[in-house]
Amino acid sequence: MFLPVAIYFIMFKYVPMGGLIIAFKNYHFLHGIWGSEWVGLKNFSMLFTDPAAFKTIRNTLMISVLSIAVGFPFPIILAILFNEVRKMWYRKTVQTLLYLPHFLSWVIVGGIVITVFSQETGVMNAIWERLTGSTYPFLYQEGSWLAIFLGSGVWKEAGFGAIIYLAALANIDPHLYEAANLDGANKWKQIVHVTLPGITPIIVLMLILAMGRVMEVGFDQVYILHNPVVSNISEVISTYIYRIGLQGMQFSITTAMGMFEALIGLVLVLLANGFARRFGQGLW
């Protein structure tokens, strides 16, 4: 049963790693990977001396850290709130509504976001104009664009992300809550002293995995919400690779960028696991 999974990962995850050699060559279609000129670390040198590439790395790191800081707690909070709801019909209804955005593509979600925040016809600007007498370019100001980007990510993924924590909450012994209640602990203290410690291993695991994706910002979301006015903060590694690598045909530079991204992710995973291991929660 494991064989198809192993074949999938070998064919589509491990074999393509051989293509990383392009990062050390001046790749050309006509010469192929092996026939292209070997240039060593020249592509990496160009990468770190290019102001546009440096800005791209900075934006990716900033957006990723903010996404983790803003988005990581929401699934935990939702799972705890769901766990406290006693009316099952209400719980299932709300869960379904919050899970639904996960199954929509970013094309649909991005279209909704752009429609809501459009300066000419958006619902938010209609309300804003009634309050202030003028419209506001939500999607064309760097601060508001970043807030919309983070908020749309939370709206799309927080509900589905709560499933993992709900599964962890189901494994907490109910007798612990009864004992805490007998000791006079109110609902807040039960959450702090029973619920959160019970799901701490899962929280640590998800945080380590999130740290491994710090340098990854999904292409779909950025590409859909991106516009030239906010390119100073919206240009990230995935869009850089698309624009410079696929459209500009500079495969060696963008392969070097992708390799740098992967190495940073690996280092962050190792550091996060080492830190978690100090508290007995490491993965290895």
Domain CATH for 146: 1.10.3720.10
Q: How many CB atoms lie within 10 A of CB 266?
A: 11
Q: Pick from 39, 25, 110, 76: which is nearest to 200 by CA?
A: 76
pLDDT of residue 204: 85
Task: Confirm whether 72 is domain-assigned.
Answer: yes
What is the domain range of residue 190?
Answer: 41-277
Rounded CA-CA distance 250/39 in Å is 14
Backbone angles phi, psi at 25, to 5 degrees: -130, 160
Rounded CA-CA distance 33/39 in Å is 13
Backbone angles phi, psi at 38, to 5 degrees: -80, 125
pLDDT of residue 279: 67
Task: Confirm whether 32 is domain-assigned.
Answer: no
Q: How many CB atoms lie within 10 A of CB 47?
A: 22
Contact criterion met (CB below 8 Å) for 215 and 61 = yes
Task: Confirm whether 271 is domain-assigned.
Answer: yes
Name residue, tokens 């850089």. Answer: 240
Rounded CA-CA distance 159/97 in Å is 8
- pLDDT digits 0-9 by tens, 87-138: 888 888 988 888 899 999 999 999 999 999 988 888 998 899 888 888 899 9
The two three-digit tokens of residue 269, written as one number:
């995973």
Rounded CA-CA distance 242/220 in Å is 11
Task: Confirm whether 31 is domain-assigned.
Answer: no
Contact criterion met (CB below 8 Å) for 70 and 154 = yes
Task: Confirm whether 76 is domain-assigned.
Answer: yes
pLDDT of residue 282: 67
- For 144-184, give the DSSP string: HHHHHHHHHHHHHHHHHHHHHHHHHHHTS-HHHHHHHHHTT
Q: How many CB atoms lie within 10 A of CB 52?
A: 11
Residue ranges, the chain, pLDDT below 70? 279, 281-283
pLDDT of residue 283: 66
Please state the domain count of the chain: 1
Contact criterion met (CB below 8 Å) for 224 and 156 = no
Task: Confirm whether 64 is domain-assigned.
Answer: yes
Rounded CA-CA distance 19/24 in Å is 10
- For 83-140, give the DSSP string: HH---HHHHHHHHHHHHGGGGS-HHHHHHHHHHHH-TTT-HHHHHHHHHHSS---GGG
pLDDT of residue 248: 85
Task: Confirm whether 155 is domain-assigned.
Answer: yes
Task: Confirm whether 11 is domain-assigned.
Answer: no
- pLDDT digits 0-9 by tens, 148-168: 999 999 999 998 889 899 989
In terms of Cβ atoms closer than 10 Å to its own Cβ (0-12, 13-18, 19+), residue 22 is buried
